[in-house]
Amino acid sequence: MKDENCIFCKILAGDIPSYQIYEDDDFKVILDVGPASRGHALIIPKEHYKNLYELPEELAAKAFVLGKKLITALTEILGCDGYNLVQNNGEVAGQTVDHFHLHLIPRYEGDDARVGWNPGSLDPSEAEELMALIKSDPAFS
């Protein structure tokens, strides 16, 4: 499955150059051209799926297992101090390329990468309302 308007499909097809650091049957892994930190890479499935909602469960599982394998090796290679794995779904969530990808973002002591949010405070009444709402769905009961 390919999307002719998708930049990652074009990279996967070799129509656009990339810095590919890894490949297996299901994925290519490339360096991000707009890195949050030194060594920021992207796990990209070879088939076009828009986001995690559309990605088959088997590939979702494989992507995370691959992420574990790669960050284990890359932590040693890059000499980083930690890792963020980030995955955006939808424009409102920061997704800019509509082809599923998993960000591997190395973190270094004192770096200026920004991956995070401003913590709020969970109001007990809101928590109760959320619990009732979510637990009313068969998937969560």
Catalytic residues: 101
Which of 12, 29, 30, 102 forms a contact with ligand AMP (CB under 6 A)? 30
- Whether the Cβ atoms of residue 83 and residue 73 lie closer than 8 Å to each other: no
Structure tokens at 65: 């297992």
- The C-alpha atoms of residue 43 and residue 32 are separated, in whole angstroms, by 10
* Binding residues for Zn ion restricted to 96-115, rule: CB under 5 A: 99
Nearest-approach distance from CB 13 to Zn ion, in angstroms: 9
Residue with tokens 């913590």: 119
Nearest-approach distance from CB 1 to Zn ion, in angstroms: 8
Q: Which residue is nearest to ligand AMP (CB)?
A: 34
Kindly report the number of other CB atoms within 10 A of residue 22's CB atom.
15
CB neighbour class for 35 (10 Å; exposed up to 12, middle 13-18, buried from 19)? middle
Nearer to Zn ion by Cβ, of 13 and 73: the residue is 13
Q: Which residue is nearest to Zn ion (CB)?
A: 6
Region binding ligand AMP by CB under 6 A among candidate stretches 21-29, 32-40, 77-85, 117-125: 32-40
Decide if residue 37 touches ligand AMP (CB under 6 A). no
